[in-house]
Amino acid sequence: MSDLDWNQLKAFLETAQTGSLSAAARKLGLSQPTLSRQVAAIEKHMGVTLFERVGKSMALTPTGLDLLEHARAMGAAAQALGLAASGRSQAVGGVVSVSATDAVAAYLLPPLIEQLHRQELGIAIEVISSNALSDLLRREADIAIRHVKPEQPDLIARFVRDAQANFYASPAWVQRHGHPRTAQDAALLPFVGSDRAGQYLAYLRQHGLALEESNFTCYADHSTAHWALVRQGLGIGAMMDEIARDTPGIVQVLNDVPPVRFPIWLVSHRELRTSRRIRVVFEALAQGLAEPG
């Protein structure tokens, strides 16, 4: 029975159990000629006669009777496999990995995870803090929170909202340097840098700030470290407004400079459609991230 067609096996099983081609065809949702061809095909494939026509009924031959229990065992195994797969996909419990930039992972995710934990006790969240785009197709994460729209067609992406960041400094910094409000005010003031390659400087210049490398007192390429340096009073830095609002003793500066705007995308792979626990987390994150803190 090597390379046996499963559809032919189902045709044999249903015909044997109903004793009628028409009844088996109705149960399988097939036309009677189609079912009859499948029964003939399995007989030809196996080189045996499985049925004898008795009036309008189909009676099993002795060979058919001998093979029926084996076919039933195969059918039961297939049904169990389908039930196991369905149960696994619909189960809520398990681990869901979520990748996010370090600032989002450190400041925005914890309250959302705490709320999700209260609602779905069986789900555990693995937080992957990374500023690199996780390769969801290679299953580095189940869900990613990103600030660029993914281009891979096999990924599922939902635009959550446009977020914004403004410029901030510590109270001690403001006491030493005053409260700058315009881009012109910032020209000679200290900033916390993000990288040594000049990308952050180029971005600030495009945003209307006429700065030089000499404006940077220090550098940190991760947002949480960058924010810690700003809070320490080492310079001006940009941060998402909802994170800044939850940071005690931080002062918004450069108030007349337009905010930095960027999108929030929620991204998952195609298993989102079949795994209930991933869908549950995806929807909870989409709802939570849609509402600025």
* pLDDT tens-place string over residues 233-248: 999 999 999 999 999 9
Q: For the chain, which domains are there? A: 6-90 (1.10.10.10), 94-160+263-290 (3.40.190.10), 164-261 (3.40.190.10)
- For residue 264, what are the CA distances in angstroms to 75, 101, 106, 223? 47, 11, 16, 16
Q: What is the pLDDT of residues 195-215, one digit of tens each?
A: 999 999 999 999 999 999 999
Residues 282 and 106: beta-carbon distance below 8 Å: no
Q: What is the pLDDT of residues 22-40, one digit of tens each?
A: 888 888 888 888 988 988 9
Q: What are phi and psi of 263, to 5 degrees?
A: -85, 160
Rounded-to-integer distance, Cα 248 and Cα 167, Å = 15
- Percentage of the chain with pLDDT > 70? 91
Q: What is the pLDDT of residues 71-130, one digit of tens each?
A: 888 877 776 665 455 445 566 778 899 999 999 999 999 999 999 999 888 899 999 998
Q: What is the pLDDT of residues 49-60, one digit of tens each?
A: 988 888 888 888
SS3 content of the chain, % helix, strand, coil (to 5): 50, 20, 30
Rounded-to-integer distance, Cα 267 and Cα 250, Å = 32
Examine the pLDDT at 250 and tell me if it is beyond 70. Answer: yes
Has this prediction a pTM greater than 0.85? Answer: no
144 closest CA partner among 104, 100, 96: 100
Q: What angle do CA 132, 134, 140 make, to 5 degrees?
A: 140
Examine the pLDDT at 2 and tell me if it is beyond 60. Answer: no
| Residue 156: alpha-carbon gap to chain centroid | 7
